Amino acid sequence: MASAHPLSMDPSSPDPSKPRFGEPVKLLPVIFVFGSMIFLWSIYIVYHCLPVIAASYWPGFFELIVFNVLTGLVLTCYIRCILQHPGTIPDKDLSGVATWECLPQDESKLKYTSCEGDAQEKKRSGERRTCKWCSKYKPDRCHHCRVCRMCILKMDHHCPWIYNCVGFKNHKYFMLLLFYGTLCLFFMVWTMMPSALKATRDPQSPFTDVMVLVFGESIATILAVLLSMFSAFHFWLMLQGMTTIEYCEKSKKDSSRKRSHYNRGLLGNICASLGDNPFLWLLPCNNVGGDGITYVSEDTPLRLCSNKDVGSPLEKSLTSPRTLQKMELNLGSPIIDNTLTSSKLLGV
Ligand SMILES: [Zn+2]
Ligand SMILES: [Zn+2]
């Protein structure tokens, strides 16, 4: 069971006594990404910007400024993705009275006395979802990550490239990382192409310059295409108000039920991920509202669902052991008791 952490002001922060980077080998993908960034940045500056500035000052200077601003934003988002914990289940609720902790033998007794909240996702039996590893009740959209060894609020997926889960508190940084990363790579590909073409056509160009420019342009193009496809998928999910895990759950549902229970409409979904103030949407700052635990509000369709949905064939397929097992394999996170009956809702 997680111990209390009185020094932490945020109840959903992890126990500070647990080491954040306890397994150095899992830092290798992070080191690889940093290395790739430095490699591409150096090629762009040394083999493209400086020669262009030497030939014609202002165009090269403009590209230098734009590229470095984008690189700075990418680095900021990337570092915040790594360092910002996505949030875990607190020990107690904000009042400090009700508890999220549960002991297996007391589960039935505590069922109605602890943080009951507005939890919508429940086991097929109607009981609240619990995590057997953390010994806590699970809020909606929360899942246990086997790599992080804790439950993650609004878990999207575990990302080895940031040695962290993408969840409630760092989802905005992740989305901005994809956005600025794609923008930066396409800017590099587009503006460096004339330099690469000129070097390949000019017989006077040193062989090293030609090789480095063509190699850098090729790597940047491949990364830009891959990252743009990955970004398009995640921005589509954001506009649907869905996490990757919820998308995998829904992929088993029939097409008429594709709408997420957490869908607040286009603008509401963007605000839920990037914050309520549109002027701060593109800045890597912490301005996202909510607590990562409660998702029932006036603008979610949760209140519109009726009890007739409970136990429908659709939900049975959603919660079949095979579906859950497949999700665990794909996402690397055990969806241990995710026998959701998410449409057993308030019913108005
Ligand atoms: Zn857990
Ligand atoms: Zn994780």
Q: Within 10 Å of residue 262's Cβ, how many Cβ atoms?
A: 24
Q: Which amino acid is at 331?
A: L
The H-assigned helical ranges of 161-291 are 171-201, 207-240, 244-250, 266-274
Tokens read off for 229: 């496809």
Residue keyed to tokens 């009956």: 341
**Which ligand has its closest atom nearest to the C-alpha of 132?**
1
Q: How far apart, in whole angstroms, are the C-alpha atoms of residue 321 and residue 158?
A: 21
C-alpha 306 to ligand 1 mean position (Å): 29
The percent of residues in the chain predicted with pLDDT above 90, rounded, is 54
- Give me the mean pLDDT over the 331-342 stretch: 40
User: Region 257-266: what's the mean pLDDT?
Assistant: 79
Q: Which ligand lies nearest to the CA atom of residue 88 in the structure?
A: 1
Mean pLDDT of 210-222: 96
Please give the average per-residue pLDDT across 154-168, as a whole number: 96
User: What is the chain's mean pLDDT, rounded?
Assistant: 80
Summarize pLDDT for 82-110 with one digit per residue, the tens: 999 999 998 877 666 667 777 665 555 54
Check residue 2 and report its DSSP letter: P
Sign of torsion over alpha carbons 215, 218, 223, 224: positive
In the structure, what pLDDT confidence band is assigned to residue 250 with cuts at 50, 70 and 90? confident
The residue type of 69 is V
pLDDT given for residue 100 in this prediction: 77
Query: If 0-12 CB within 10 Å is exposed, 13-18 middle and 19+ buried, where does residue 33 land?
Result: middle
Q: Which ligand minimizes its atom distance to the CA of 336? A: 1
- The answer to which of 49-63, 84-98, 302-316 has the lowest mean pLDDT is 302-316
The model's pTM: 0.79
pLDDT for residue 298: 57
Minimum-distance ligand to the CA of 20? 2
Q: How far apart (Å, rounded) are the C-alpha atoms in residues 18 and 53? A: 50
The residues assigned a catalytic role are 159
Give, as residue ranges, everything with CB less than 5 Å from ion ligand 2: 145, 147-148, 158, 165
Inter-residue contact 248 to 213 (CB < 8 Å): no
User: What's the confidence (pLDDT) of residue 92?
Assistant: 76
Rounded average pLDDT over 332-342: 39
- Alpha-carbon distance of 122 to 206, in angstroms, equals 66
**What is the number of helices (H) and of strands (E) in the chain?**
10, 6
Distance 131 CA to ligand 2 centre (A): 15
CA of 144 to the centre of ligand 2 (A): 8
Please report the pLDDT score of residue 128 as a whole number. Answer: 80
Is 115's pLDDT higher than 60? no
Cα–ligand 2 centroid distance for 224 (angstroms): 25
Query: Looking at the predicted structure, is the pLDDT value of residue 221 above 80?
Result: yes
The long-range contacts involving 5-14, CB below 8 angstroms and separated by at least 24 positions, are 11/90, 11/91, 11/92, 11/94, 12/87, 12/88, 12/89, 12/90, 12/153, 12/168, 12/169, 12/291, 12/292, 12/293, 13/85, 13/87, 13/88, 14/85, 14/88, 14/150
Structure confidence at residue 333 as a pLDDT band (50, 70, 90): very low
Q: Which residue has the higher pLDDT, 58 or 63?
A: 63
Compute the average pLDDT of residues 257-275.
86
Single-letter code of the amino acid located at 169: K
Q: Which of 137, 132, 79 is nearest to 110 (CA)?
A: 137
Residue 217 has φ and ψ, to the nearest 5°, of -65, -40
Ligand nearest the Cα of residue 160 is 2
For residue 176, pLDDT beyond 70: yes
Q: Average of pLDDT values for 288-302?
A: 74
pLDDT-derived band of residue 4, with 50, 70 and 90 as boundaries?
very low
250, 340 Cβ separation under 8 angstroms: no
Residue, of 198 and 310, whose pLDDT is higher: 198
The domains of the chain are located at: 24-331
Interatomic CA distance for residues 98 and 115, integer angstroms: 5
Rank 78-92, 225-239, 251-265 by mean pLDDT and report only the highest.
Answer: 225-239
Ligand nearest the Cα of residue 333 is: 2
139 C-alpha to ligand 1 centroid (Å): 11
Cα(334) to centroid(ligand 1), Å = 9
Residues 181/37, Cβ–Cβ less than 8 Å: no
The pair of three-digit structure tokens given for residue 96, joined into one six-digit string: 């400090």
Q: What is the pLDDT at residue 315?
A: 38
How many A from CA of 201 to the centre of ligand 2? 48
Cα of 324 vs centre of ligand 1, distance in Å, is 16
Q: Report the separation in Å between the CA atom of 305 and the middle of ligand 1, taken as the mean of its atom positions.
A: 28
pLDDT of 251? 75
- The CA 144 to ligand 1 mean position distance, Å, reads 4
